[in-house]
Amino acid sequence: MNIQFTVLPGGKLQGLHRVPGDKSISHRAIMLGALADGTTEVTGFLEGEDTLATLAAFQAMGVPIEKLAPGHIIIQGVGLQGLKQPSVPLNLGNSGTSMRLLAGLMAGQAFSVEIVGDASLSKRPMQRVTEPLSQMGAIIETSGTGTSPLKIKGHQSLRGINYVLPVASAQIKSCLLLAGLYAQGVTCVTEPAPTRDHTERMLTGFGYPVEREEAKVCINGGHHLQATAVDVPADISSAAFFMVGASIANQADVILQHVGINPTRTGIIDILRQMGADITLYNSRTVSGEPVADIQVRSANLKGITIPEHLVPLAIDEFPAIFIVAACAQGKTVLTGAKELRVKESDRIQVMADGLQAVGIHSEPLPDGIIIHGGQIRGGEVNSHGDHRIAMAFTMAALRAQEKIVIQDCANVATSFPNFIGLVQAAGLQIEENRLST
| Pair (41, 124) in one structural domain | yes
What is the maximal distance between C-alpha atoms in the chain? 61
- Tell me 20's DSSP state: P
| Pair (69, 109) in one structural domain | yes
Residue 56 CA to residue 305 CA, distance in Å, equals: 43
> Is it the case that residue 101 has pLDDT exceeding 90?
yes
| Pair (13, 56) in one structural domain | no
> Is it the case that residue 437 has pLDDT exceeding 80?
no
Question: Do the Cβ atoms of 392 and 241 come closer than 8 Å?
Answer: yes
| Pair (362, 336) in one structural domain | yes
Residues with a known catalytic role: 317
pLDDT (tens digit per residue) in 188-236: 999 999 999 999 999 999 999 999 999 999 999 999 999 999 999 999 9
| Pair (283, 209) in one structural domain | no
Q: φ, ψ for residue 332 (rounded to 5)?
A: -110, 150
Last residue of a domain, one of 190, 207, 231: 231
pLDDT (tens digit per residue) in 235-272: 999 999 999 999 999 999 999 999 999 999 999 999 99
| Residue 28: domain span | 23-231
Number of H helices and E strands in the chain, helices first, is: 12, 23
What count of other Cβ atoms lies within 10 Å of the Cβ of residue 270?
17
Residue 291 CA to residue 186 CA, distance in Å, equals: 28
Cα within 13 Å of Cα(224), Cβ side? 11
Residue 265 CA to residue 417 CA, distance in Å, equals: 17
Residue 267 CA to residue 261 CA, distance in Å, equals: 10
| Pair (335, 249) in one structural domain | yes
Last residue of a domain, one of 231, 262, 297: 231
Confidence at residue 416, expressed as pLDDT on a 0 to 100 scale = 86
Q: What is the mean pLDDT of residues 156-171?
A: 96
Confidence at residue 438, expressed as pLDDT on a 0 to 100 scale = 67
Confidence at residue 436, expressed as pLDDT on a 0 to 100 scale = 87
| Pair (40, 111) in one structural domain | yes
CA distances from 243 to 112, 280, 285, 307, 397 (A): 44, 11, 20, 17, 12
> Which pTM was predicted?
0.91
pLDDT (tens digit per residue) in 263-300: 999 999 999 999 999 999 999 999 999 999 999 999 99
| Pair (65, 188) in one structural domain | yes
pLDDT (tens digit per residue) in 61-100: 999 999 999 999 999 999 999 999 999 999 999 999 999 9
| Pair (89, 188) in one structural domain | yes
| Pair (67, 168) in one structural domain | yes
Last residue of a domain, one of 203, 231, 259: 231
CATH number at residue 111: 3.65.10.10
CA distances from 145 to 123, 354, 386 (A): 9, 27, 22
Confidence tier at 325 by pLDDT (50, 70, 90): very high
